[in-house]
Chain A
Amino acid sequence: MDEAERFEAAAGLLPGRLRERALRLPAADKRSATELRVRAGSCVAAVLPEGEVPLGGDRVTGEDLRLLVEIATGASAHAARETVRRGFIPCRGGVRVGLCGSVILADGEISGFSHLSSACIRIAREVRGIADGLLPALYRAGIPRSTLIVSPPGGGKTTLLRELVRRISGGSAAGPGVRVGLCDERGEIAALRAGAPELDVGPRTDVLDACPKAEAVMMLLRTMNPQVIALDEITAAEDVRAIEYAANCGVELMATAHAATVSDLKSRPLYRDILGHFENLIVIREARGRRDYELTKGERTW
């Protein structure tokens, strides 16, 4: 599946009349679009490198959003209920639909949405070669060392993580291929379909899909004997505890976190405890549609 096909898979989640507008985008925009924004009362917008661009046409209604969920879940809301409770629906090709609206609370926990107000269709990007310049510096003694990727939301952390996993798993001039255990909680790194990844994550990668990260790390450690564990977006205290446990077991880690800079990261109590487990920190900076990767050494020393 190439970039344009992935865009079409994302646009295919829109109800018919909205989909036609999205599919009319020029091929170059289809390839560079990272999101489709669907908000009740506005027309659909595409997120392109230059920013959010309205596609025009009919305004989105509440029924359109309901139909979007029906399409995204294959008319099976019950099958997607666990992820819907967490606000998203994983779809084919690594596409992820984020949901927003009025939530239903049952016994203090979110059980779903009574009304949807907007949806964000994120399009997975597979950009080969973006890790080439970074790889040699991530290895020591032929082994890829624990690396934390940092950027604000939408900065390209998942894309870089996927490429790092693919190269580390496959092996490169920097070092031989190693076994990678990949925790893909939202199904957007490997995009498993019937057990097979739709996005290339390398030949020695074992993917644990749709499982909360903290539990996934423990399961991989117990069952798959990974040399590296990769996980996207450390956001909770239990993720931090699982990372510490894995690091103490001698497993290298590839992870991502939301922050603008390293100092921003250090200022957050959640991350302070884990920085000592990472040997490399990669900060992604984006300016005028171009991403730069800045590699610094982390707090783990040898």
Chain B
Amino acid sequence: MVIRLLGAALVVTAAGTMGALGALNLRRRAAALEGLIVSLELMENEICSRLTPMADVLDMLSRSAPEAVRGFYRRAAGRMSAIGRCSFYAIWHGAVGESRELRLRPEEVQCLSELGLCLGRYDVREQAEAIGRVRRRLEVFLKRAEEESARDGKLHAAFGLVSGLFAAVILL
């Protein structure tokens, strides 16, 4: 009986944890989108005010952008030495695609990826406009992600716990 109770407790804990992780993923996605918006603002300032080269901008963001998006900038910065063997767009696009920790959806990936077509290629005004456009779209995605997190986060956690309890009752 003791073993059965222990097993039931483990099932409840595992299911509850899965539910909590689902809720955490939603919060992390929103945090990543928020981090991207903040970091793109920093990027715009560096490009427009200080005319900082892209390699230095990416390096700076890999250290000082919000924690949730540093890995993405680290990947992009690490590949800047490949300019000449591949285009900047390929580097940026590759870093966006590999940064799965951002938990971006396909339309968000596309939005961020397309920014690579403008960055470093045009004069400051055109780059500022492109960054501004992407930030505004990311803000829409962020609003949706926050609503989803608020609405579905508790549901994920509760569903995980309830399904765990239900499974435990059946197993007992």
Do A78 and B124 touch (CB < 8 A)? yes
Question: In the complex, what residue of chain B is closest to A79 when comparing beta carbons?
Answer: B53
In the bound complex, CA of A73 to CA of B119 (Å): 12
Do A76 and B123 touch (CB < 8 A)? no
Number of A-B contacts (CB under 8 A): 57
Chain A contact surface mostly: loop
Known: A71-B83, A73-B120, A111-B123. A78 touches B88 (CB 8 A): no
Do B124 and A70 touch (CB < 8 A)? no
Do A76 and B84 touch (CB < 8 A)? no
* Contact code string A9-20 (vs B, CB < 8 Å = 1, else 0): 000110110010
Do B54 and A16 touch (CB < 8 A)? no
Do B120 and A71 touch (CB < 8 A)? no
Question: In the complex, what residue of chain A is closest to B88 when comparing beta carbons?
Answer: A75
Contacts of B124 on A, CB cut-off 8 Å?
78, 81
Query: Does A94 count as interface, using CB distance less than 8 angstroms?
Result: no
Contacts of B119 on A, CB cut-off 8 Å?
75
* Contact code string A45-69 (vs B, CB < 8 Å = 1, else 0): 0000000000000000000000100
Q: Which residues of B contact A (CB under 8 A)?
A: 47-48, 51-55, 80, 83-85, 87-88, 91, 119-124, 127
**15 A-B residue pairings within 8 Å (CB atoms):** A12-B84, A16-B84, A16-B85, A70-B87, A74-B55, A74-B83, A75-B55, A75-B120, A76-B53, A76-B120, A77-B120, A77-B121, A77-B123, A78-B127, A79-B54
Q: Which residues of A contact B (CB under 8 A)?
A: 12-13, 15-16, 19, 67, 70-71, 73-79, 81, 111-112
